[in-house]
Protein backbone atom coordinates (compact mmCIF):
# COMPACT_ATOMS: atom_id res chain seq x y z
CA UNK A 1 0.00 0.00 0.00
CA UNK A 2 1.52 3.33 -1.06
CA UNK A 3 1.30 6.65 0.79
CA UNK A 4 -1.55 7.99 -1.36
CA UNK A 5 -3.63 4.95 -0.45
CA UNK A 6 -2.77 5.24 3.23
CA UNK A 7 -3.78 8.90 3.25
CA UNK A 8 -7.37 7.98 2.42
CA UNK A 9 -8.07 7.11 6.05
CA UNK A 10 -5.90 8.58 8.80
CA UNK A 11 -6.32 9.04 12.54
CA UNK A 12 -4.72 11.46 14.98
CA UNK A 13 -5.04 10.49 18.65
CA UNK A 14 -4.64 13.32 21.12
CA UNK A 15 -5.81 15.61 18.33
CA UNK A 16 -6.87 18.55 20.51
CA UNK A 17 -3.43 18.97 22.10
CA UNK A 18 -0.70 21.32 20.91
CA UNK A 19 1.06 18.66 18.88
CA UNK A 20 -1.96 16.66 17.72
CA UNK A 21 -3.79 19.70 16.40
CA UNK A 22 -0.76 20.79 14.37
CA UNK A 23 -0.30 17.30 12.95
CA UNK A 24 -4.00 17.33 12.08
CA UNK A 25 -3.61 20.53 10.04
CA UNK A 26 -0.64 19.13 8.13
CA UNK A 27 -2.38 15.87 7.25
CA UNK A 28 -5.73 17.52 6.44
CA UNK A 29 -4.20 19.74 3.77
CA UNK A 30 -2.36 16.81 2.17
CA UNK A 31 -5.57 14.76 2.10
CA UNK A 32 -7.52 17.66 0.59
CA UNK A 33 -4.91 18.09 -2.16
CA UNK A 34 -5.14 14.38 -2.99
CA UNK A 35 -8.92 14.47 -3.11
CA UNK A 36 -8.84 17.37 -5.57
CA UNK A 37 -6.96 15.32 -8.17
CA UNK A 38 -9.33 14.24 -10.98
CA UNK A 39 -8.54 10.55 -10.52
CA UNK A 40 -9.55 10.76 -6.85
CA UNK A 41 -12.80 12.73 -7.08
CA UNK A 42 -14.96 9.69 -6.27
CA UNK A 43 -12.81 8.45 -3.39
CA UNK A 44 -13.73 9.03 0.25
CA UNK A 45 -11.11 10.61 2.49
CA UNK A 46 -11.37 10.65 6.29
CA UNK A 47 -9.13 12.23 8.92
CA UNK A 48 -10.32 11.06 12.33
CA UNK A 49 -9.42 13.54 15.06
CA UNK A 50 -9.80 11.81 18.41
CA UNK A 51 -9.51 13.29 21.89
CA UNK A 52 -10.97 12.54 25.30
CA UNK A 53 -12.75 15.89 25.74
CA UNK A 54 -15.75 17.08 23.73
CA UNK A 55 -15.01 20.62 24.89
CA UNK A 56 -11.45 20.35 23.59
CA UNK A 57 -12.77 19.05 20.27
CA UNK A 58 -14.99 22.14 19.95
CA UNK A 59 -11.87 24.26 20.25
CA UNK A 60 -10.10 22.00 17.75
CA UNK A 61 -12.82 22.57 15.14
CA UNK A 62 -12.24 26.32 15.28
CA UNK A 63 -8.45 25.88 15.28
CA UNK A 64 -8.46 23.57 12.26
CA UNK A 65 -10.58 25.95 10.21
CA UNK A 66 -8.44 28.97 11.13
CA UNK A 67 -5.18 27.17 10.34
CA UNK A 68 -6.44 25.72 7.07
CA UNK A 69 -7.48 29.23 6.06
CA UNK A 70 -3.92 30.43 6.70
CA UNK A 71 -2.53 27.55 4.65
CA UNK A 72 -4.87 28.37 1.76
CA UNK A 73 -4.00 32.07 1.82
CA UNK A 74 -0.31 31.19 1.41
CA UNK A 75 -0.92 28.68 -1.40
CA UNK A 76 -3.07 30.51 -3.93
CA UNK A 77 -0.83 29.66 -6.91
CA UNK A 78 -0.99 25.93 -6.12
CA UNK A 79 -4.71 26.08 -5.41
CA UNK A 80 -5.42 27.72 -8.77
CA UNK A 81 -3.86 24.71 -10.47
CA UNK A 82 -5.82 22.29 -8.29
CA UNK A 83 -9.10 24.08 -9.06
CA UNK A 84 -8.43 24.80 -12.73
CA UNK A 85 -11.53 22.84 -13.76
CA UNK A 86 -13.76 24.92 -11.44
CA UNK A 87 -14.81 27.75 -13.75
CA UNK A 88 -17.12 29.11 -11.04
CA UNK A 89 -14.09 30.02 -8.90
CA UNK A 90 -12.58 33.26 -10.15
CA UNK A 91 -11.32 35.34 -7.25
CA UNK A 92 -8.58 34.17 -4.92
CA UNK A 93 -11.00 34.45 -2.01
CA UNK A 94 -13.39 32.00 -3.73
CA UNK A 95 -10.60 29.48 -4.29
CA UNK A 96 -9.37 29.87 -0.71
CA UNK A 97 -12.84 29.30 0.70
CA UNK A 98 -13.34 26.28 -1.53
CA UNK A 99 -10.12 24.71 -0.27
CA UNK A 100 -11.05 25.33 3.37
CA UNK A 101 -14.45 23.73 2.73
CA UNK A 102 -12.90 20.73 0.97
CA UNK A 103 -10.31 20.34 3.75
CA UNK A 104 -12.85 20.46 6.56
CA UNK A 105 -15.06 17.91 4.78
CA UNK A 106 -12.47 15.20 5.37
CA UNK A 107 -12.46 15.85 9.14
CA UNK A 108 -14.23 13.52 11.54
CA UNK A 109 -14.21 14.56 15.23
CA UNK A 110 -14.91 12.26 18.17
CA UNK A 111 -13.88 10.68 21.46
CA UNK A 112 -14.22 7.01 20.49
CA UNK A 113 -10.95 5.22 19.71
CA UNK A 114 -12.93 2.82 17.49
CA UNK A 115 -13.06 5.58 14.89
CA UNK A 116 -9.52 4.53 13.97
CA UNK A 117 -10.42 0.95 13.01
CA UNK A 118 -10.17 1.51 9.24
CA UNK A 119 -7.17 3.81 9.28
CA UNK A 120 -3.97 2.92 7.48
CA UNK A 121 -1.92 5.63 9.21
CA UNK A 122 -2.38 6.43 12.90
CA UNK A 123 -0.59 9.36 14.55
CA UNK A 124 -0.40 9.29 18.33
CA UNK A 125 0.27 12.58 20.14
CA UNK A 126 -0.96 12.06 23.69
CA UNK A 127 0.93 13.09 26.83
CA UNK A 128 4.21 11.37 27.67
CA UNK A 129 2.86 8.45 29.71
CA UNK A 130 4.24 5.05 28.80
CA UNK A 131 1.45 3.01 30.38
CA UNK A 132 -1.32 4.98 28.69
CA UNK A 133 0.43 4.89 25.32
CA UNK A 134 0.94 1.14 25.58
CA UNK A 135 -2.72 0.61 26.52
CA UNK A 136 -3.87 2.63 23.51
CA UNK A 137 -1.58 0.78 21.09
CA UNK A 138 -2.78 -2.59 22.37
CA UNK A 139 -6.38 -1.55 21.71
CA UNK A 140 -5.48 -0.22 18.27
CA UNK A 141 -3.62 -3.41 17.43
CA UNK A 142 -6.77 -5.42 18.10
CA UNK A 143 -9.16 -3.22 16.14
CA UNK A 144 -7.07 -1.91 13.20
CA UNK A 145 -5.96 -3.88 10.20
CA UNK A 146 -2.69 -5.79 10.15
CA UNK A 147 -1.39 -3.32 7.56
CA UNK A 148 -1.90 -0.23 9.76
CA UNK A 149 1.20 1.87 10.47
CA UNK A 150 1.66 3.86 13.67
CA UNK A 151 3.64 7.09 14.10
CA UNK A 152 4.23 8.22 17.66
CA UNK A 153 5.14 11.77 18.63
CA UNK A 154 6.85 10.57 21.80
CA UNK A 155 9.83 12.73 22.68
CA UNK A 156 11.58 10.31 25.03
CA UNK A 157 10.10 6.79 25.26
CA UNK A 158 12.12 4.18 23.28
CA UNK A 159 10.22 3.07 20.18
CA UNK A 160 11.30 -0.56 20.35
CA UNK A 161 10.06 -0.73 23.95
CA UNK A 162 6.60 0.59 23.01
CA UNK A 163 6.44 -1.65 19.95
CA UNK A 164 7.28 -4.76 21.95
CA UNK A 165 4.87 -3.93 24.80
CA UNK A 166 2.00 -3.41 22.35
CA UNK A 167 2.91 -6.31 20.04
CA UNK A 168 2.99 -4.16 16.90
CA UNK A 169 5.60 -6.23 15.09
CA UNK A 170 7.71 -3.34 13.84
CA UNK A 171 4.79 -1.21 12.62
CA UNK A 172 5.63 1.69 14.96
CA UNK A 173 8.04 4.54 14.21
CA UNK A 174 9.06 7.58 16.20
CA UNK A 175 7.93 10.71 14.35
CA UNK A 176 8.75 13.54 16.72
CA UNK A 177 7.37 16.84 15.45
CA UNK A 178 8.46 20.04 17.16
CA UNK A 179 6.08 22.65 18.53
CA UNK A 180 4.20 24.03 16.68
CA UNK A 181 4.17 21.34 13.95
CA UNK A 182 2.61 23.67 11.38
CA UNK A 183 5.59 26.05 11.64
CA UNK A 184 8.52 23.94 12.82
CA UNK A 185 10.51 22.32 10.02
CA UNK A 186 12.12 19.60 12.13
CA UNK A 187 10.93 16.03 12.58
CA UNK A 188 13.13 13.58 14.47
CA UNK A 189 12.67 10.12 12.99
CA UNK A 190 13.41 7.24 15.35
CA UNK A 191 13.45 3.64 14.15
CA UNK A 192 13.77 0.56 16.32
CA UNK A 193 15.72 -2.56 15.38
CA UNK A 194 12.59 -4.26 14.08
CA UNK A 195 10.90 -1.27 12.38
CA UNK A 196 9.85 -2.59 8.99
CA UNK A 197 11.39 -1.08 5.86
CA UNK A 198 8.07 -0.16 4.25
CA UNK A 199 7.21 2.05 7.24
CA UNK A 200 10.61 3.74 7.06
CA UNK A 201 9.99 4.59 3.39
CA UNK A 202 6.46 5.82 4.06
CA UNK A 203 7.74 8.05 6.88
CA UNK A 204 10.44 9.48 4.62
CA UNK A 205 8.03 10.18 1.76
CA UNK A 206 5.51 11.78 4.11
CA UNK A 207 8.17 14.07 5.58
CA UNK A 208 9.19 15.18 2.10
CA UNK A 209 5.59 15.97 1.17
CA UNK A 210 5.15 17.97 4.36
CA UNK A 211 8.39 19.81 3.51
CA UNK A 212 9.98 18.85 6.80
CA UNK A 213 13.64 18.47 7.68
CA UNK A 214 13.99 14.83 8.75
CA UNK A 215 16.81 14.02 11.16
CA UNK A 216 17.43 10.39 12.19
CA UNK A 217 18.00 9.56 15.84
CA UNK A 218 18.84 6.23 17.43
CA UNK A 219 16.27 4.54 19.63
CA UNK A 220 17.78 5.70 22.93
CA UNK A 221 15.51 7.43 25.44
CA UNK A 222 15.32 11.20 24.94
CA UNK A 223 16.69 10.91 21.39
CA UNK A 224 18.67 13.95 20.20
CA UNK A 225 16.42 16.88 21.06
CA UNK A 226 15.46 16.06 24.62
CA UNK A 227 18.70 14.17 25.17
CA UNK A 228 20.38 17.54 24.81
CA UNK A 229 17.70 19.84 26.24
CA UNK A 230 17.27 17.92 29.50
CA UNK A 231 21.00 17.94 30.25
CA UNK A 232 21.35 21.54 29.11
CA UNK A 233 18.60 22.54 31.53
CA UNK A 234 20.11 20.51 34.36
CA UNK A 235 23.42 22.33 33.87
CA UNK A 236 21.67 25.70 34.27
CA UNK A 237 19.88 24.45 37.38
CA UNK A 238 23.17 23.24 38.90
CA UNK A 239 24.66 26.68 38.20
CA UNK A 240 21.75 28.32 40.03
CA UNK A 241 22.53 26.16 43.04
CA UNK A 242 26.18 27.21 42.85
CA UNK A 243 25.44 30.92 42.37
CA UNK A 244 22.61 31.39 44.85
CA UNK A 245 25.00 32.13 47.75
CA UNK A 246 26.24 35.11 45.76
CA UNK A 247 23.02 36.30 44.10
CA UNK A 248 20.37 34.60 46.22
CA UNK A 249 18.09 32.15 44.47
CA UNK A 250 16.01 34.63 42.45
CA UNK A 251 19.11 36.46 41.27
CA UNK A 252 20.80 33.21 40.25
CA UNK A 253 17.80 32.22 38.12
CA UNK A 254 17.87 35.63 36.46
CA UNK A 255 21.62 35.37 35.82
CA UNK A 256 21.49 31.95 34.16
CA UNK A 257 18.43 32.85 32.14
CA UNK A 258 20.18 35.96 30.82
CA UNK A 259 23.48 34.17 30.21
CA UNK A 260 21.75 31.48 28.15
CA UNK A 261 19.79 34.02 26.12
CA UNK A 262 21.86 37.16 25.58
CA UNK A 263 25.41 35.91 26.12
CA UNK A 264 24.81 32.69 24.15
CA UNK A 265 22.61 34.37 21.50
CA UNK A 266 19.66 32.03 21.91
CA UNK A 267 15.98 32.84 21.19
CA UNK A 268 15.04 32.61 24.87
CA UNK A 269 16.70 31.94 28.20
CA UNK A 270 16.86 28.39 29.51
CA UNK A 271 14.29 28.93 32.27
CA UNK A 272 11.96 30.66 29.85
CA UNK A 273 12.33 27.63 27.56
CA UNK A 274 11.56 25.21 30.39
CA UNK A 275 8.46 27.29 31.17
CA UNK A 276 7.44 27.18 27.50
CA UNK A 277 7.72 23.40 27.38
CA UNK A 278 6.15 23.01 30.83
CA UNK A 279 7.98 22.30 34.08
CA UNK A 280 5.85 19.21 34.63
CA UNK A 281 6.67 18.03 31.10
CA UNK A 282 10.37 18.61 31.80
CA UNK A 283 10.03 16.50 34.96
CA UNK A 284 8.15 13.77 33.08
CA UNK A 285 10.81 13.50 30.37
CA UNK A 286 13.56 13.35 32.99
CA UNK A 287 11.72 10.47 34.66
CA UNK A 288 11.31 8.55 31.40
CA UNK A 289 14.98 8.99 30.54
CA UNK A 290 16.10 8.14 34.07
CA UNK A 291 14.03 4.95 33.98
CA UNK A 292 15.22 3.72 30.60
CA UNK A 293 18.84 4.86 30.86
CA UNK A 294 19.34 4.07 34.54
CA UNK A 295 20.99 7.48 35.02
CA UNK A 296 20.17 8.85 38.47
CA UNK A 297 21.71 12.21 37.54
CA UNK A 298 18.66 12.88 35.36
CA UNK A 299 16.71 14.41 38.21
CA UNK A 300 16.31 17.86 39.74
CA UNK A 301 15.09 18.61 43.26
CA UNK A 302 14.24 22.13 42.12
CA UNK A 303 12.04 20.84 39.29
CA UNK A 304 10.36 18.43 41.70
CA UNK A 305 9.66 21.28 44.16
CA UNK A 306 8.19 23.48 41.45
CA UNK A 307 5.85 20.71 40.32
CA UNK A 308 4.87 19.94 43.92
CA UNK A 309 3.92 23.59 44.37
CA UNK A 310 1.97 23.42 41.08
CA UNK A 311 4.10 26.09 39.44
CA UNK A 312 4.08 24.42 36.04
CA UNK A 313 4.48 26.85 33.16
CA UNK A 314 3.09 25.71 29.82
CA UNK A 315 0.70 27.67 27.60
CA UNK A 316 -2.93 28.68 27.64
CA UNK A 317 -5.24 27.65 24.81
CA UNK A 318 -4.52 30.89 22.95
CA UNK A 319 -0.76 30.21 23.05
CA UNK A 320 0.07 32.77 25.73
CA UNK A 321 2.63 31.78 28.35
CA UNK A 322 1.65 30.51 31.79
CA UNK A 323 3.75 31.50 34.81
CA UNK A 324 6.54 29.13 35.76
CA UNK A 325 10.07 29.96 36.83
CA UNK A 326 9.22 33.38 35.43
CA UNK A 327 6.04 35.44 35.69
CA UNK A 328 4.76 36.77 32.37
CA UNK A 329 2.76 39.75 31.19
CA UNK A 330 1.97 39.77 27.47
CA UNK A 331 4.48 36.89 27.17
CA UNK A 332 7.30 39.03 28.59
CA UNK A 333 9.05 38.05 31.87
CA UNK A 334 8.25 40.48 34.69
CA UNK A 335 9.04 38.40 37.77
CA UNK A 336 10.86 35.34 39.10
CA UNK A 337 9.36 32.69 41.37
CA UNK A 338 11.02 32.59 44.80
CA UNK A 339 10.90 28.93 45.82
CA UNK A 340 11.53 29.82 49.47
CA UNK A 341 8.85 32.51 49.78
CA UNK A 342 6.41 30.76 47.42
CA UNK A 343 5.75 33.98 45.53
CA UNK A 344 7.02 35.95 42.55
CA UNK A 345 9.58 38.69 43.02
CA UNK A 346 9.07 41.55 40.54
CA UNK A 347 12.01 42.19 38.25
CA UNK A 348 12.48 45.95 38.48
CA UNK A 349 14.92 47.96 36.40
CA UNK A 350 16.93 48.98 39.48
CA UNK A 351 17.23 45.36 40.62
CA UNK A 352 18.31 44.22 37.14
CA UNK A 353 20.95 46.94 36.94
CA UNK A 354 22.49 45.82 40.22
CA UNK A 355 22.63 42.16 39.14
CA UNK A 356 23.82 43.01 35.62
CA UNK A 357 26.66 45.08 37.09
CA UNK A 358 27.94 41.99 38.92
CA UNK A 359 27.98 39.80 35.81
CA UNK A 360 29.43 42.46 33.52
CA UNK A 361 28.58 43.82 30.11
CA UNK A 362 27.98 42.02 26.84
CA UNK A 363 30.68 42.14 24.14
CA UNK A 364 30.95 45.39 22.24
CA UNK A 365 28.61 45.54 19.27
CA UNK A 366 26.25 42.92 20.75
CA UNK A 367 23.42 41.95 18.41
CA UNK A 368 20.37 40.08 19.70
CA UNK A 369 19.22 36.69 18.44
CA UNK A 370 16.24 38.25 16.68
CA UNK A 371 18.42 40.78 14.86
CA UNK A 372 20.90 38.09 13.84
CA UNK A 373 18.25 35.67 12.60
CA UNK A 374 17.99 37.14 9.09
CA UNK A 375 21.44 38.75 9.03
CA UNK A 376 23.52 37.51 6.09
CA UNK A 377 26.63 38.09 8.20
CA UNK A 378 25.40 36.29 11.29
CA UNK A 379 28.15 33.64 11.23
CA UNK A 380 30.82 36.33 11.11
CA UNK A 381 29.14 38.31 13.89
CA UNK A 382 28.68 35.24 16.09
CA UNK A 383 32.33 34.36 15.77
CA UNK A 384 33.31 37.91 16.73
CA UNK A 385 30.90 37.78 19.67
CA UNK A 386 32.41 34.62 21.14
CA UNK A 387 35.96 35.70 20.38
CA UNK A 388 35.36 38.78 22.52
CA UNK A 389 33.75 36.72 25.28
CA UNK A 390 36.84 34.52 25.49
CA UNK A 391 38.99 37.59 26.06
CA UNK A 392 36.72 39.29 28.62
CA UNK A 393 37.48 39.01 32.34
CA UNK A 394 33.93 39.17 33.72
CA UNK A 395 31.68 36.74 35.52
CA UNK A 396 29.19 36.83 32.65
CA UNK A 397 31.86 35.91 30.11
CA UNK A 398 33.12 33.12 32.35
CA UNK A 399 29.63 31.67 32.86
CA UNK A 400 28.83 31.96 29.15
CA UNK A 401 31.98 30.22 27.95
CA UNK A 402 31.56 27.48 30.54
CA UNK A 403 27.95 27.00 29.42
CA UNK A 404 29.09 26.88 25.78
CA UNK A 405 31.65 24.23 26.72
CA UNK A 406 29.08 22.16 28.62
CA UNK A 407 26.49 22.31 25.87
CA UNK A 408 29.12 21.12 23.37
CA UNK A 409 30.18 18.29 25.68
CA UNK A 410 26.55 17.16 25.97
CA UNK A 411 26.31 17.04 22.18
CA UNK A 412 29.57 15.09 21.84
CA UNK A 413 28.28 12.58 24.41
CA UNK A 414 25.14 12.04 22.34
CA UNK A 415 27.37 11.03 19.44
CA UNK A 416 29.67 8.82 21.53
CA UNK A 417 26.62 7.09 23.06
CA UNK A 418 25.21 6.44 19.59
CA UNK A 419 22.12 8.63 20.01
CA UNK A 420 23.17 10.70 16.99
CA UNK A 421 25.30 9.48 14.11
CA UNK A 422 27.07 12.75 13.35
CA UNK A 423 27.63 16.24 14.70
CA UNK A 424 25.59 17.56 11.78
CA UNK A 425 22.56 15.64 13.05
CA UNK A 426 22.92 17.10 16.55
CA UNK A 427 23.44 20.59 15.19
CA UNK A 428 20.46 20.23 12.82
CA UNK A 429 18.13 19.34 15.70
CA UNK A 430 19.20 22.29 17.84
CA UNK A 431 19.17 24.74 14.94
CA UNK A 432 15.88 23.61 13.41
CA UNK A 433 14.00 22.39 16.46
CA UNK A 434 15.17 24.95 19.02
CA UNK A 435 15.94 27.82 16.59
CA UNK A 436 19.56 28.14 17.67
CA UNK A 437 21.68 30.24 15.32
CA UNK A 438 24.56 27.77 15.60
CA UNK A 439 24.97 24.17 16.63
CA UNK A 440 26.32 23.06 20.04
CA UNK A 441 29.34 21.57 18.29
CA UNK A 442 31.21 24.56 16.94
CA UNK A 443 34.62 26.21 16.85
CA UNK A 444 33.82 29.14 19.16
CA UNK A 445 35.72 27.84 22.21
pLDDT 10s digits, 355-390: 999 999 999 999 999 999 999 999 999 999 999 999
pLDDT number for residue 66? 93
Report the alpha-carbon distance of residue 173 to residue 196 in Å, rounded: 9
Report the alpha-carbon distance of residue 305 to residue 339 in Å, rounded: 8
Confidence band, pLDDT 50/70/90 cuts, at residue 316: confident
Side-chain half-sphere CA neighbours of 317 within 13 A:
9
pLDDT at 268 over 90: yes
Report the alpha-carbon distance of residue 250 to residue 345 in Å, rounded: 8
Q: What is the mean pLDDT of residues 208-217?
A: 97
By CB neighbour count within 10 A (0-12 exposed, 13-18 middle, 19+ buried), where does 279 fall?
Answer: buried
Tell me what percent of the residues of the chain surpass a pLDDT of 70. 100
pLDDT at 277 over 90: yes
pLDDT at 317 over 80: no
What digits encode the pLDDT tens for the residues 131-175?
Answer: 999 999 999 999 999 999 999 999 999 999 999 999 999 999 999
CATH of 3-217, one of 3.40.50.2300, 3.40.50.300, 3.40.50.10470, 3.40.50.720: 3.40.50.720
Q: What is the mean pLDDT of residues 100-127?
A: 96
Cα-Cα-Cα-Cα torsion 111, 114, 120, 122, nearest 10 degrees, comes to: 40
Identify the three-state secondary structure at position 334: strand
Classified by CATH at the fold level, domain 225-433 comes out as 1.10.1040
pLDDT number for residue 160? 97
pLDDT number for residue 362? 97
pLDDT number for residue 82? 87
Confirm if 45 and 34 have CB atoms less than 8 A apart. Answer: yes
Q: What is the mean pLDDT of residues 177-183?
A: 92
Cβ burial 48-70 (10 Å sphere, 16+ → b, else e): bbbbeeeebbeebeebbeebbbe
User: Average pLDDT over the chain, rounded to whole?
Assistant: 96
Count of residues making up the chain: 445
pLDDT at 241 over 80: yes
Sign, CA dihedral 370-433-289-12, equals: positive
State the pairing for strand pair 186-190/172-177. antiparallel
Tell me what percent of the residues of the chain surpass a pLDDT of 90. 91
pLDDT number for residue 319? 81
75 phi and psi angles, rounded to 5 deg: -125, 35
Please state the domain extents for the chain: 3-217, 225-433
- H or E stretch at 151: strand 149-152
> Measuring CA to CA, which residue among 55, 67, 61 is closest to residue 29?
67
pLDDT number for residue 41? 85
What digits encode the pLDDT tens for the residues 245-265?
Answer: 999 999 999 999 999 999 999
pLDDT number for residue 258? 98
Amino acid sequence: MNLDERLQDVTVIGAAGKMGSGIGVLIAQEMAKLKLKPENKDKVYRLNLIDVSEQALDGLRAYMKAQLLKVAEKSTVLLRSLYEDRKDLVENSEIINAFVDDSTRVLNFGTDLAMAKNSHLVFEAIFENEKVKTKIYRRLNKMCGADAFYLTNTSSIPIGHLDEKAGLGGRLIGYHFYNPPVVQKLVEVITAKNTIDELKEIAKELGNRLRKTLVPASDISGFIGNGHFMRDGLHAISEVDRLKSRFRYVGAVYVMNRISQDFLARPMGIFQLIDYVGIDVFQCILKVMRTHLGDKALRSRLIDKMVKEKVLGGQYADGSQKDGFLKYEKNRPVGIYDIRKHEYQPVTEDWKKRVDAKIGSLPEGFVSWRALLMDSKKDEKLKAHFTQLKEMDTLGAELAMDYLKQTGAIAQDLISQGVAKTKDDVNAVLKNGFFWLYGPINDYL
